[in-house]
Amino acid sequence: MKQKPIKEVEIIDVAYPNISIGKFDEDKLVEFKGGVLGEKCRVKITRSRGNKKMGKYIEKIEDSKLENSKEFCPNTGICGGCSYQKMGYETELLLKHNMIRKLLKKSDIKVKDLSIVRSAKIKGYRNKMEYSFGDAYKGGPLILGLHKINRFYEIVDTNGCNIVDSDFESIRKHVQSYFREKNTNFYHKKTHEGLLRNLIIRKGMYTGDIMVILVTSSDESFDPMRKELFTHNLLNAKTNGIIKSIYHVVNDSLADAVKVDSIELLFGKEYIEERMNDLVFKISPFSFFQPNVYTAEKIYKNSIELSSVSKSKNVLDLYSGTGTITQFFAKVSNKALGIEIVEEAVEKAFDNARENKIENIDFIAGDVLEKINLVKGEYDILVIDPPREGIHPKAIGKIIDINPEEFVYISCNPKTQIRDIEIFMEKGYKVVKYQVFDQFPRSRHVETIALIQKI
């Protein structure tokens, strides 16, 4: 069987979020995932159809000239997390702005004065991290960190990670050291044996509240005594914030993602708190909360400013999560209703609304596709903030049929957002305003808001 060729490629263009167009052999082009504009790399040609070639990124040969920052994470190029660590922040913003501009142009969406709102912080901004237990090489010492780039089994020690608060690194190192001393085995994905799987840390950046979630297999070696010893030891970790909550989750799923077979509160409260503007939010172990609270504040404020909300108007918030944006809109509208499929999130949404003394608000637990029929024709402004895959194809028609004055579409994935906007445009709508936010500095991703109105 003929081996697929590996070519030295120069990346001459990029498409959001991580598609590179590379040139090789003087005039041939290949499309692949990964890399940075201007970088020279090796790419395996995996498919050829006429002039169009697809490839797989193999390795970097030479940094892009855009990567000229002198301050970057020591794990850059090893860890699979950040992509723009070596860029100056202004360069990163320009690159993201340009990719979104091209994405809009490709779908013939005309936006006046497109701009990107910078993050208030580019270091230490993340309020949640999910670490994995493993080793850097077979038989190596236990490591608690992130997956190595393009490697399923190898884990990188994230010492020096600059997108997390210092308390995250303190806790991670403390837990890693504790289980090394105890000679505790991590869960091996091939054999499905071992105990340790993940460590999740959440922090209220304005409150200092910290939640730690240890995820293990159901291995019986982690008995009540060992849980007590782990909890006592963890509370001795040196942190600026205060550990308010420690959980143990059992996950026997064969998948790498965290699945909850059972959950036990080992210490403290069932939730931590975070403040955003003048509101307080309770965050439970697996409820969604924006990972960059500093930019999230701007996103929610801007979504209200873009809309025509007033005290005489009713607001419907789809995919409402723990009701964060629902509450912001409720404060400036006649009433607001949120629909969310995760029951735990809806329970917390009610708790948060009571905590903030917001009474003109309600929530429905259930799938938007099913529950949308209950509210048809009652709302003036419809807020949409779906998961990364966008609006379900079967739901989008029902959503449009509500026929409000306007839609405020918030998205962490502009590609699926623009795909959905094309359907709105086919139904006689247009994008009146569009704003980009750098919600995820040093990564390839952004958050966007589209204000959509009937033509």
H or E, element range at 200: strand 196-203
d(CA 257, CA 239): 27
Between the alpha carbon of residue 393 and those of residues 150, 398, 416, the distances in Å are: 31, 10, 11
Contact predicate 328/353, CB 8 Å:
no
**Is the bond preceding 17 in cis, omega lying within 30 degrees of 0?**
yes
Q: What residues are designated binding site?
A: 290, 319, 340, 385
d(CA 35, CA 47): 19
Q: What residues are designated binding site for S-adenosyl-L-methionine?
A: 290, 319, 340, 385
Residue 236 — left, alpha, or beta (φ > 0 → left; ψ -120 to 50 → alpha)? alpha
CA angle 168, 80, 199 (to 5 degrees): 35
> What helix, strand, coil percent values describe the chain, rounded to 5?
25, 35, 45
Number of C-beta neighbours around residue 51 at 10 A: 8
Between the alpha carbon of residue 218 and those of residues 196, 228, 252, 263, the distances in Å are: 10, 16, 7, 11
Q: Is 255 exposed, middle or buried (0-12, 13-18, 19+ CB in 10 A)?
A: exposed
Among this protein's residues, is 412 annotated catalytic? yes
Catalytic residue selected from 73, 79, 161, 412: 412
- Residue 359 corresponds to which amino acid? E
d(CA 304, CA 76): 37
Residue closest to 150 by CA, chosen among 279, 40, 260, 60: 60
Q: 437: which strand partners?
A: 117, 447
Buried b (16+ CB within 10 A) or exposed e, 2-38: eeeeebebbbeebebbbbbbbebeeeebbbbebbbbe
With H, G, I as helix, E, B as strand and everything else as coil, classify residue 21: strand
Q: Is 359 exposed, middle or buried (0-12, 13-18, 19+ CB in 10 A)?
A: exposed
CA angle 12, 18, 24 (to 5 degrees): 30
d(CA 273, CA 207): 7
Active site residues: 412
